[in-house]
Amino acid sequence: MSTDPFILEVNGQSHEVADAHPGESLLRVLRERLRLPGSKNACEEGECGSCTVLLDGQTVCSCLVLASTAVGRQITTIEGLSGDGGLSHVQQAFVDAGAVQCGFCTPGLIVSIGSLLESDPDPSELAVREAISGNLCRCTGYGRVVEAVHLAATRGGGSK
């Protein structure tokens, strides 16, 4: 059994989802049906944050969004954050600060940090740590991730 076809707005484009099963998560639809594998799948219970996307501008775990309920929402994935083929400030800061090791958590972290800098362009260290408290990284120890946030903040924040 599958759901009736529905349309999702992802990164400014409409996508028809034709044969999702009724309980299918937004993460699964993004990765398996829309071929947007940037959002990562690990825990499937909202613990790790590697599937973080923006839903109407707010960070959510896409593994915990029932895909068929996201109709009419603006969904932004990591693929939609870098305009004109270039890197966003946050992405470039991750490269420059060496905040990437295995890279699995990186897309989720970048979505969370971009969202933080949109609302708080010059965050305190505590605000940074709280903003990424739902993004688990088992490589970096977060030191260089926090450095990257401050670097991105000095370069103009989350928008680009």
Partner 1 sequence: MTIATSLEDACAALAAEPNSVIVAGGTDLMVEVNRGSRCVENVVALDRIPELADWHLTGDELRFGAGVTFAEICEPEIAALVPALAQAARTVGSPQIRNAATLGGNIATASPAGDSIPVLAALDAVLELRSTEAIREVPVTEFITGVKATCLMPGELIEAVRVPVLDGPQEFCKVGTRNAMVISVASLALLVDRSARRIRVALGSVSPIPLRASEAEDHASGHLDWDSGVQPGPEVVREFAELVAGSANPIDDHRGSAAYRRHAVRVLAERSLTRVLNRVSSP
Q: Which residues bind partner 1 (CB under 8 A)?
A: 1, 3-4, 22-23, 25, 44-47, 49, 52, 55, 58-61, 63-66, 68-69, 71-72, 112, 130-131, 133-135
CA proximity to 36, closest of 67, 5, 72: 67
Encoded tokens for 116: 């933080």
Residue 22 or residue 156: which is nearer to partner 1 going by CB?
22
Minimum CB separation from partner 1 for residue 86, in Å?
A: 26
Output the 3-class SS for 5-68.
CEEEEECCEEEEECCCCCCCEHHHHHHHHCCCCCCCCCCCCCCCCCCEEEECCEEEEHHHCEHH
Q: CB-based burial of residue 103 (10 Å sphere; 0-12 exposed, 13-18 middle, 19+ buried)?
A: exposed
Is the CB of residue 113 less than 8 Å from the CB of residue 149?
yes
Least distance from partner 1 to the Cβ atom of residue 132, Å: 8
Minimum distance from residue 74 beta carbon to partner 1 (Å) = 14
Nearer to partner 1, 95 or 119 (CB): 119
Q: How far is the CB of 129 from partner 1 (least distance, A)?
A: 9
H/E run at residue 52: strand 52-55
Of residues 5 and 103, the one with the C-beta less far from partner 1: 5
Q: How far is the CB of 139 from partner 1 (least distance, A)?
A: 18
**Nearer Cβ to partner 1, position 95 or 138?**
138
Is 98 or 122 the residue whose CB approaches partner 1 more closely?
Answer: 122
